[in-house]
């Protein structure tokens, strides 16, 4: 019998990812750890450095766990924040044999 493959879960980011959003974002991501995740950043209007750190830490955790995680679609504001902080390529990890 073959193992069931985890379905990819979707998670919507809040429009404003500021200091107040960091702790709830971390908690929400930790609830989903260990499962393939696609994060929707289409509605992000503003993102600060602390929330970016939370997202980078989550990407590292998913990578360590060997579970796929990606962020898409991405708003222009989200992309601008990634460019400013230098994090453009941090969210495209997929383990071998996994395709989203």
96 located within any domain: no
pTM (two decimals): 0.83
Could you tell me the residue range of the domain that residue 41 belongs to? 9-19+34-85
In the predicted model, what is the mean pLDDT of residues 58-69?
91
Q: What is the rounded average pLDDT of the residues 73-77?
A: 95
Q: Could you give the number of structural domains in the chain?
A: 1
The verdict on residue 94 lying in a domain is: no
Q: What percent of the chain has pLDDT over 90?
A: 66
Residue 99 lies in a domain: no
User: What separation in angstroms does the CA of 80 have from each of 36, 39, 48, 49, 89?
Assistant: 25, 17, 11, 12, 13
Q: From 36, 49, 47, select the one nearest 99 (Cα to Cα).
A: 36
Q: Specify if 92 maps to a domain.
A: no
d(CA 21, CA 25): 6
Count of CB atoms situated within 10 Å of the CB of 58:
24
Q: What is the distance between the alpha carbons of residues 22 and 53, in angstroms, rounded to a whole number?
A: 9
Give a yes or no: residue 24 inside a domain: no
* 52 domain residue, yes or no: yes
3-state SS assignment for residue 3: coil
Q: Does residue 49 form part of some domain? A: yes
What's residue 67's pLDDT? 92
Residues 6 or more apart in contact with residue 14 via CB below 8 angstroms: 21, 25, 43, 44
Q: Residue 92 — very low, low, confident or very high, per pLDDT cuts 50/70/90?
A: low
The reply to whether 43 falls in a domain is yes
pLDDT at 91: 63
Q: What share of the chain has pLDDT > 70, as a percent? A: 82
Mean pLDDT of 65-94: 84
Cα–Cα distance, 61 to 20 (Å, whole number): 22
């Amino acid at each position: 019998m073959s193992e069931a493959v985890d379905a990819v879960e979707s998670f919507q980011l809040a429009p404003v990812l500021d200091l107040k959003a960091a702790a709830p974002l971390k908690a929400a991501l930790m609830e989903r750890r260990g499962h393939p995740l696609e994060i929707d950043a289409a509605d992000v209007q503003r993102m600060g450095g602390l929330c970016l750190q939370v997202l980078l830490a989550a990407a590292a955790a998913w990578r360590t766990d060997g579970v796929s995680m990606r962020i898409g679609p991405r708003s222009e504001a989200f992309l601008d924040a990634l460019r400013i902080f230098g994090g453009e390529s941090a969210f495209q990890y997929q383990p071998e044999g996994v395709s989203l």
